[in-house]
Amino acid sequence: MVELLAPSGNFISLRAVLENGADSTYIGLNDFNMRANANNFSIFDLKKVTSIAREYSSKVYLCSNVIMKEEDVKTFLKLLPEIASSDINGIILADIGLIEDVVSHGMEAHISVQENVSNSLTLKSLKKLGAKRAILSRELSLNEIKEIASKSPIETEIFIHGAMCMAISGRCFLSYGLYNRSANCGDCLQPCRKMWTLKFEENSEDLVKNTSNITNEEFIISESFDDSYRTNFFSPQDMAMIEHIPELIDSKVDAFKIEGRSRAPDYSATATKMYRKAIDSYLKNPENYSYNPKWMDELSSVFNRGFDTGFYFFKPYKTSENNQSKFVKKDIGKVVNYYSKINVAEIKIWDDLVIGDEIMIQGETTGSINQKINSIEIDKKQVEKASKGQNIAILMDNKVRENDFVYKLIKRNEI
């Protein structure tokens, strides 16, 4: 059975992906992962993370997928005993030199996509070094993945959803060149996601010649207000393979990975929930499996830059725009009490709410849940509308907790 691996950038995301069916989750440790700007976990959080995961019979993998210099390695090796004592299942590595040390401490060594594993010979070499799993290059087609997985002596993993990088396996120097902030050391400022102004000058003396069959060298996308031209040609759309679960399972890879440790908990919750539904639906009845378009609608409701299928079927050619989510989250309150006997939450709000609004509630134990407001009570009286500054009572479908964050979901076309 294929493993569904989901991202956790903080304790809220952790609970959100576990509640929605993740078989495993991957997290980052401060200073040693590719999301230095995310809300990573500290070394002191690890036992709590694994304890929560065990409540759901789920595994936890720790990302250490950055280029490590000599001093970094020394620090990491000192931390290994404490990491191992926290009951972490495995560590995702970009440095194959650390495989032996990780395995000797009783943990699995998973090889990061940063290694750009693209053939079965590499997998055989990684097996000899002691690796348990390798994340295959994102630049492989589905047919190539099938062939590699069929020959692999170790477990294989592929990305099925989330952001795609402009560079091969994320090996990019753009952030370092512009800001002296290295993507390969986990500190990418993502300048590729900006809108770029493109200037192309013909020069008869230019030594750089186009020797390909392509005559149209333009990347121009849109004309700006100042008569210049701007483009997102560095920024690919997000990957979404929800429509192709049967083909992915047929590839015989061992794990499906959702990208997004630096994205919000509702993104992680929704992506995990939809892929869980699709995978379970197919495995339950492969012969009569039918893709449900509502799954993609749900994925479109949270942060995304438009969707593509990456390199699975052809080389991606579409560039992304800004967030294409149908909704914007607005911070509007917090939970001050929850009455479990009657499933009612008392919420202090600092924005207006009306019957029919949809809210999102997030917390370290609650995870991320959505709730449509079908009734509002103030001082035990039913009302149609509540104003900012009031405490309101709302009937909930799911349990929430004191101090959970409350957001109102507003449709983009209503802003």
Kindly list the averaged pLDDT for each block of 10 residues, start to end, along the chain of length 415.
96 97 93 60 95 98 88 93 97 95 98 94 98 96 97 98 79 75 72 70 62 55 50 77 96 97 93 98 96 95 88 73 77 95 95 94 95 94 93 96 94 70
Q: Work out whether strand 229-231 and strand 222-223 pair parallel, antiparallel, or are unpaired.
A: antiparallel
State the DSSP code for 380: T
Q: How many CA atoms lie within 13 A of 364 on its CB side?
A: 8
SS3 34: coil
Q: Are 415 and 328 in contact (CB under 8 A)?
A: yes
CA distances from 208 to 190, 204, 205 (A): 27, 10, 9
Residue identified by tokens 């079908």 is 374
Specify the pLDDT at position 198: 60
Specify the pLDDT at position 293: 94
Specify the pLDDT at position 219: 47
Amino acid at 265: P
